Each structure stands twice: as C-alpha cells, then as structure tokens.
Amino acid sequence: MLLYPAIDLHGGKVVQLTQGDFSRQQIHGDDPVAVAQAFVAAGARWIHTVDLDAARTGEPVNRSLIAAIVAAVDVPVQAGGGVRSVAAAAALAEVGVARVIMGTAALENPDLVAAIAARQRVALGLDVRGREVAVRGWAEGSGVEWPEALRRLSDVGAEAVVITQIEGEGLMEGADTAGLAEVLGATSLEVIASGGVGDLADLLALDAVTAEGRRLAGAIVGTAIYEGHLDVAEAVAALQARRS
C-alpha cells in the first residue's frame, strides 16, 4: 500500500477541511510547491492534489499551482477537483498530471469518464457520507449509494477508485476499515482510501485490510501529517518493511 500525502488547495493555500465543511478549514501553508518537495524528500512515491475551488465551482483556480507542483517533483501527481470535461482533464495532462480524479462528473456522465480514460489515466472519486455519494465538493447528496455508483462505473476505463469517508475527514479518529473491505470486495479497480487516518497505527490498520485476496492500493493522508501525528518518512518505511 502506498502513502499519498495530500495537498488540498483553496485560494492558493494548502488547507484541510473537517468533514468536508469549507467553514471548518485549517490553513497549513502558502507554498504548496515546498510542501510537495518535502513530501518527496521524505520518500513519498505519489502526491495527491485537489483543487477545492474547482470542486465547488468548476473554475480551475489552482491549476497553475498544480502545474508548479508537477514541475518541482520527480514522482507522479494525481489531481482532482472540477474535472468535468475532456478539456479540463486534458489541461491537467498538459501540465504533467499523471492521473485525474473524477467525482461529480463521473457519477452524472459515465460516458465522459470513458472519453477521458481513452486519452489519459483516470481514477474515480467517490466521496461518501455513510453510503451515499456526495457531489459538488461534498456540498450535495446524490441519492446514489456507493455500490450502485461502482456498478454504473465498472467498465468506463478508470484504473482506480478513491473512497473518501467524509464523516471521518479531518477528525483523525481512524478510517472505516470495514467499509473499505466491502469496497475491495465489490470492485476489481484499485482502491485508495481517504479520510480518518490519525497516526501510524491507523495507517497500518488500512494496510491490513483485505478482501477476496486483495489489499488497498493506497491511503491518502492530510491532517495527520500537517498536525504532526504522522511522519511521512516513518510511514513510508513502515509500509515498506511490511512487504520486505
């Protein structure tokens, strides 16, 4: 399982939201490039970025910052937030983003995912409250539960699915391991967990999740890193040690 340190961008700053609430955000820096470089120096093999402004409005407010991050590091960068058209996805590919994450648009238009996946690498982003998938930057419920969403999107060409449990986001109270095991058993896609990790023990608990002989492909962590509860270098070493 790979650690994906998270760089969530809002108004050009590195932030973390609690339970997806924009009114409950913590600002963790104003130099996203330096943050990304520090993560890579500590051993991170991927960087996860989200344009939170674009997730809410569709406007790529932070695209230039994502481009700067890509240019400054030598590991792949995945990016989500506001990827709602072939043009938006292509613009991210043009600045070097290795994989785009599609949430709202994927659920509303599976054919669009297929069109983009034919051109570049795509991950699905399913942000869930309980079992319901939320859309538009977590602001609205979709009325669709994640098993149905995965069924609709099973053959559109995506290579992975990022599952964010909004109720645990930013709280550092542990991830929904039981729910993630259920997701693993319901899809052949790589599954990347997001939300709830508070320390190394929580991360290793995710690494132990199995279903149908499969494990999680990755875990996205933000708040625990920024607040000093999880050291990236220590976490990367611990994950590697479990596979050696």
Give the catalytic positions in this structure. 8, 127
Residue 11 and residue 126: Cα distance in Å, rounded? 23
Task: Measure the CA–CA gap between 76 and 55, rounded to whole angstroms.
Answer: 21
212 Cβ contact list (under 8 Å, min separation 6): 184, 185
Q: Are 26 and 171 in contact (CB under 8 A)?
A: no
Beta bridge partners of 78: 48, 99
Reference 12, options 50, 56, 61; nearest CA is 61
